[in-house]
Amino acid sequence: MLKHGLIGFFDSGYGGLTVLKEVQALLPQYDYLYLGDNKRAPYGEKTQQEVYEYTWESIQYLFSQGCELVILACNTASAKALRRIQQNDLLAFPDKRVLGVIRPSAEIVGTYSQTNQLVVLGTRGTILSNTYLDEFNNHSPQTIVHQYACPSWVPIIESGKHASKEGLNLIKEDLDAIIKLYPQADVILLGCTHYPIIQDFIQTYLPSKIKVVSQGEIVAASLKDYLNRHDWLQKKLTQHASSKYLTTGNPADFEKQAKDILRLNIKVEQIKL
């Protein structure tokens, strides 16, 4: 029998788990299928065409496995591939939906700032795309948005070096630069789904007047609202409270990272794309 009724989650690697975890907490009834393209991660330094091709290939795989809706739990993919997929590729899949993480963030995070100034941190791909500037401009025009790329952070996190002094020192260098460059900013948005893994460290290191914001809860609330507004889609979703995890990389590494990083005990299957 063909599978159907799942909500898919996609990221270049482990980062999207930080979003899925919050979605599972808010909407535990649904059935989730997570795919991490760890074999080809990181995406942050890849060309637009590469990010688009890998993302669309992964989405089609998730569709073939019964996903009705796919959340791109990856800012780089949301920034560099989502629009093209929504405007062109989904025409061939009129009953499927693909949503990103940038727009829901831009809809709300401006309201967290007292000074109307915030800094978005992301991969070089996300920052250079200027997608955050466009989305904040649309949804929160009063907010002054500074952008800062942290190209070393995803490699540090994916390799587990964020637990070492050397890795933390590299992260501190960026944080020192950010405080100096944008003294008026009182909100830092972690615009990469890997960064919440080091959120406690970042929040403790920065002055307490700065609020560090991750996207998991924001995306979860936005998805709940979206499903309430799209009854036809919600009705297609099955509700057995299940989750399944796939990777293009090494499943044992994925399981270990999920356990170490997110305290998740999960079974992971390898797939080929």
Tokens representing residue 211 in the block: 């609020």
Binding site for ligand DGL (CB under 6 A): 11-13, 15, 41-44, 74-76, 123, 126, 154, 192-194
Burial class (CB in 10 A: 0-12, 13-18, 19+), 1: exposed
Nearer to ligand DGL, 123 or 140 (CB): 123
Nearer to ligand DGL, 39 or 211 (CB): 39
Nearer to ligand DGL, 233 or 264 (CB): 264
Please report, as a single letter, which amino acid is at residue 57: E
**Is 74 a known active-site residue?**
yes
Nearer to ligand DGL, 62 or 74 (CB): 74
Tokens representing residue 262 in the block: 């997110």
Residue in 192, 198, 223, 237 annotated catalytic: 192
Task: Extract the runs of DSSP E, i.e. beta strands, from 76-151.
Answer: 97-99, 117-122, 144-149
**Is 192 a known active-site residue?**
yes
Task: In angstroms, give the least distance from the CB of 208 to ligand DGL.
Answer: 26
Task: In angstroms, give the least distance from the CB of 198 to ligand DGL.
Answer: 13
Under 8 Å between Cβ of 246 and 8: no
Q: Nearest Cα to 149, choosing from 168, 169, 130?
A: 130
The rounded distance, in Å, linking the Cα atoms of 59 and 93 is: 11
Residue in 74, 127, 220, 237 annotated catalytic: 74
Task: In angstroms, give the least distance from the CB of 16 to ligand DGL.
Answer: 6
Task: In angstroms, give the least distance from the CB of 1 to ligand DGL.
Answer: 33
How would you classify the pairing of strands 243-247 and 268-270? parallel
Positions marked active-site: 74, 192
